Amino acid sequence: MHPPLAALPRFETQRLTIMPLTMADADAVTSLTDDVAITGVVHFLPSPFTRLDAEALIDQNGNDTCFLGALFQDQLVGIVGLHARGDDRLEIGYWIGTKFQRRGYAGEAVSGTIDVLKNRYPTRRVIAECRPCNDASWTLLQKLGFRATGLQADRPGRELLALE
């Protein structure tokens, strides 16, 4: 039996502290996420993204099949999400606030999260869904060791990548 994702502890990377989102983060999540550059590419985020939307998102952290982590460096710079897909896979996703992009935060957060997952869930395969036209994410995922599986992802327009 695997430990629930909701129990994932706080951890740190070189520049980031990654910890479960809480309701105290709702205003920061709203401010970071209410941006069409984010809501336009993350399929489950409504636009505009309101405080009620942030609260509903954060509320998912009580579900043992989900972890939504805040990426902090003095302030919220992004979010990393994990979702259990059956008993054998963990899906990772992320978004970085527009003003914090191109600083390496996504790569650092995803790499650090993968390290934690390998130790806590060694038998589970880490996957990601990505639009092939999303060059930044596609390139980042490949740099971190993800490879295209040749399979369509569950979400329309996305391909399934798996960590090798």
Compute the average pLDDT of residues 134-161: 93
CATH of the domain at 101: 3.40.630.30
Number of domains in the chain: 1
Residues contacting 67, CB < 8 A, separation 6+: 5, 6, 8, 20, 61, 81, 82
Task: Encode pLDDT of 90-132 as tens digits.
Answer: 999 999 999 999 999 999 999 999 999 999 999 999 999 999 9
69 has a pLDDT exceeding 90: yes
Res 92: pLDDT: 97
Host domain of residue 141:
5-163
Res 1: pLDDT: 62
Cα–Cα separations (whole angstroms), residue 121 to 8, 71, 161: 11, 21, 18
* Signed CA dihedral, 49, 53, 55, 57: sign only: negative
